[in-house]
Structure 1
């Protein structure tokens, strides 16, 4: 590998879909990346990519070469990360994508402790409620809830968040308290729109092991959970919030929980279905050390976290 920089540029260009993407990953200009690739092709005596201003494609020789050098380059990166770990000096970049509300309320508060433990890891956080492309957006790991998992990624469950149906005390005093999921059809509900596909997120329950989503009366829709929580506090209706958002508001007396451990009695009993969160990454076999230590850290930190427990409330109706 006499031209390692050229090989790296070639592999990143194929993975990222363009020379410009390779340049961004390597922290160099597009012109420098193009020169690296040109020198590699000259050294090999063959064209690896056919390039136009709008597209690129592997040549037959490029396909053969990529199949061989891609794993080798990953192996070199893995060896360097493993060596750093052996030297007790975990270092490198960690670009993390995370669902907005969970990232804001659960992940971000834990990051100072992670950064103190691994001061040589450079952290970048991308907070979005959509699926990111790990390759094209150069993301090392993402935290997603189950509904937006996708094939091709390794997923490790790191947390389960109880879902809390709640409303403001003034609202419940004026409109009454729903006692079964079916009662939600008669109350104004504050719904979350999934940015991924524009669908409204369902409000599922489990009754005798069967999952069902009751009909609801949608009064307001938003793509931001914290905004829906604010609407609920202001008395606009019933909201479905993760425990990590609802619990502090309940403790402050701003919201009251519904359906705690019941959602009805006897045959009508139903429990809100919890929301599971996963850490996702591309390759289990060649996992960079910063990603590995982060996933282990976040899974341990979230285990039995007080904000991931069902709220305590004297009323259980």
Structure 2
């Protein structure tokens, strides 16, 4: 019996919550996962999982065993990486990223990263839902500040300017807001954070003091590109990261607001979006994760924001 393989199947079943989920993570069939767990139970002489047609749960013995072995697979992978990547990073690297950052920033960078480290196999999970590093075998996630969790180690890699913008036709009809406080008189196209349903606040900084602009949420979406298209077609004012907004501004489809400190004495600077690279703990900063984080910061973070490593 491949004991390590059986232990890996068992821990993945527990963390995924099902045999099918473990099979997807491990890249093997559900039948193989089930057989591995059965062989492990036979080897130990104790049932680890209580299984019915509708549910599955750890037995007392299974819970005790899981606590002792749950880090074995990860520790072996890190030990392998410590030796194998003394030269070149290799193996699987799974990255989770917010949808907009993944689509507009990360996707164009990934081919260059793959060319630099050809022995890596890359998987990109692009989503705004809450992800779990352990259950989904994620090596590193790229998150904005509202997504940070205390249990993760986070490193700031980029500050991305936010641009408030609207279509020329909308501004001609509704007028041009002079201060953030004027936004309450306008149709605001707002992003709803899909994890908990909150609106992402529109932050500004004036004279060193941060504040949230009042919002008249006229249209709402959980997709930044949908908000951009609503704005382009005259729906109102929205707030977009510069990598989303700039092409529309360059083409004249959108006009940037609050971008000139000389307009009035009540000028306030839009608060930037902070992007963090997150790992489960410091031991998860393997050669391949460090290479990826450094690459993204080199290509985007330092060149656009002046961040130092």
Measured against the shorter chain, the TM-score band is 0.7 to 0.9
Partner of 2:294: 296
Closer, same or farther: CA 92–226 of 1 in aligned 2, 3 Å: same
Is 1:188 matched up with 2:187? yes
What is the TM-score of this pair, normalised by structure 2? 0.88
How big is each residue's C-alpha offset from its partner over 1:241-276, in whole Å with a ceiling of 9 and x where there is no partner?
Answer: 11111222223333221112539643x332211111
Q: How does 1:131-210 map to 2 (within 5 A)?
A: 131-210=130-209
Q: Matches of 1:150 and 1:124 in 2, distance apart?
A: 22
Q: Matches of 1:209 and 1:54 in 2, distance apart?
A: 57
Partner of 1:271: 269
How big is each residue's C-alpha offset from its partner over 1:177-216, in whole Å with a ceiling of 9 and x where there is no partner?
Answer: 2111111122222222222222322212122333222223
Partner of 1:74: 74
Q: Matches of 2:140 and 2:210 in 1, distance apart?
A: 30
Partner of 2:39: 39
Alignment RMSD (CA, Å): 2.5
- Structure 1 gap ranges (5+): 310-317
Tell which deviates more after alignment, 76-85 or 218-227: 218-227
Tell which deviates more after alignment, 116-125 or 227-236: 227-236
Tell which deviates more after alignment, 183-192 or 19-28: 19-28
Partner of 1:29: 29
Q: Number of residues paired by the alignment? A: 306
Alpha-carbon shift at residue 111 of structure 1 (Å): 0.9
Partner of 1:49: 49
Closer, same or farther: CA 264–244 of 1 in aligned 2, 3 Å: same
What is the TM-score of this pair, normalised by structure 1? 0.86
Contact 1:6-1:39 within 8 A present in 2 as well: yes
How big is each residue's C-alpha offset from its partner over 1:143-194, in whole Å with a ceiling of 9 and x where there is no partner?
Answer: 2211122232222222111111112234334433211111112222222222
Closer, same or farther: CA 59–183 of 1 in aligned 2, 3 Å: same
- Structure 2 gap ranges (5+): none
Partner of 2:231: 232
Q: Matches of 1:147 and 1:230 in 2, distance apart?
A: 24
SS of 1:101 mapped into structure 2:
helix
Contact 1:205-1:271 within 8 A present in 2 as well: yes
Partner of 1:113: 112
Closer, same or farther: CA 23–174 of 1 in aligned 2, 3 Å: closer
Q: Matches of 2:140 and 2:133 in 1, distance apart?
A: 7
Contact 2:228-2:240 within 8 A present in 1 as well: yes
Q: Matches of 2:66 and 2:216 in 1, distance apart?
A: 55
Alpha-carbon shift at residue 110 of structure 1 (Å): 0.7
Closer, same or farther: CA 276–286 of 1 in aligned 2, 3 Å: closer
Is 1:282 matched up with 2:280? yes
Contact 1:192-1:222 within 8 A present in 2 as well: yes
Partner of 1:5: 5
Alpha-carbon shift at residue 73 of structure 1 (Å): 3.0
Is 1:84 matched up with 2:87? no
Closer, same or farther: CA 217–264 of 1 in aligned 2, 3 Å: farther
Partner of 1:250: 249
Partner of 1:314: none
Tell which deviates more after alignment, 71-80 or 112-121: 71-80
Closer, same or farther: CA 155–218 of 1 in aligned 2, 3 Å: same
